Chains A and B, each alone.
Chain A
Amino acid sequence: MTQATHGLGGLRYDPAKRNRAPEWNVLGALVLIVLVFELLNRMNGTSFLFNMRDTGGLFNQARLDIIVLQVAITGIIALGVTQVIILGGIDLSSGSVVGATAMIVMSFAQTELVNGNPNPKAIFGAWAMDLPVIVPIAVGLACGLAAGLINGLLVAYTKIPPFIATLGMMVSARGVAKWWSNGQPVSFPTETYGSLANGDILGTLTFGLVSWPGQNPAVVFAVLALLFQIAMIRTLYGKRCYAIGSNEAAARMSGINVDRHKVLVYAIAGMLAAVAAILLTSKNLTAQAGMGVMYELDAIAMAVIGGVSLAGGRGSIIGTVLGAMIFSTIISGFTSIRLDAYYQEMVKGAIIVGAVVLDQWRQRKRMRG
Chain B
Amino acid sequence: MARVILETRGLTKHYGGVHALEDADFILHEGEHVAVVGDNGAGKSTFVRQVTAVEQRSAGEIFFDGQQVAFSGPLEAREAGIETVFQTLALADDLDVPSNLFLGRELFRWRFGPFSWLDRKTMRDRTMEALKTTAVKIPNVDNPIRNMSGGQRQCVSIARTAAFASKLVIMDEPTAALGVQETAQVENIIRGLKERGIPMILISHNLRQVFDLVDRIVVFRRGRIVASLRKEETDGNDIVSYITGVKGGEVNA
A binds B: yes
Interface residues of A (CB under 8 A from B): 6-13, 15, 18-19, 231, 234-237, 239-240, 242-243, 245-247, 249-251, 253-256, 261, 264, 313-314, 366-367
Contact A253 B74 (CB under 8 A): yes
Q: A243 touching B141 by the CB < 8 A rule?
A: no
| Given known A-B contacts A235-B115, A237-B114, A250 and B137 have beta carbons under 8 A apart | no
**B200, CB-defined interface residue at 8 Å:** no
- B218 proximal to A (CB < 8 A): no
| Bound Cα distance from A337 to B132, whole angstroms | 59
Select one of B106, B135, B141, B143 contacting A239, CB under 8 A: B106
Asked if A249 and B90 sit within 8 Å, CB to CB, the answer is yes
Q: Does A264 lie within 8 Å of B92, measured CB to CB?
A: no
Q: Indicate whether A255 sits within 8 Å of B106 (C-beta atoms), given known contacts A239-B99, A243-B99.
A: no
The docked-state distance in angstroms from the alpha carbon of A253 to that of B92 is 11
Say whether, besides A234-B117, A256-B104, A246 and B143 are in contact (CB < 8 Å).
no
Q: Contacts A256-B103, A256-B104: A13 and B92 contacting too (C-beta < 8 A)?
A: no
Question: Which residues of the other chain, A, contact B99 by a CB distance below 8 angstroms?
Answer: 239, 242-243
Asked if B5 lies at the interface with its beta carbon under 8 angstroms from chain A, I say no
Within 8 A of A (CB), among B77-119: 78-79, 86, 89-95, 99, 103-106, 108, 112, 114-118
* Binding site secondary structure of chain B: loop
Q: B138 in the interface, Cβ–Cβ < 8 Å?
A: yes
Known contacts: A18-B143, A247-B92, A313-B93. The answer to whether A8 contacts B132 by CB under 8 A is yes
B147 at the interface (CB under 8 A from A): yes
Q: What chain B residues lie within 8 Å of A8 (beta carbons)?
A: 128, 131-132, 136-139, 141
> A11 to chain B: which residues have CB within 8 Å?
137-139
Q: Do residues B104 and A264 form an inter-chain contact, with CB atoms below 8 A?
A: no
Residues on B with beta carbons closer than 8 Å to the beta carbon of A10: 137
Q: List A contacts of B140 (CB < 8 A).
A: 6-7, 13, 15, 18
Enumerate chain B residues within 8 angstroms of A314, measured Cβ to Cβ. 94
Residues of A within 8 A of B86 (CB): 253
B75 at the interface (CB under 8 A from A): yes
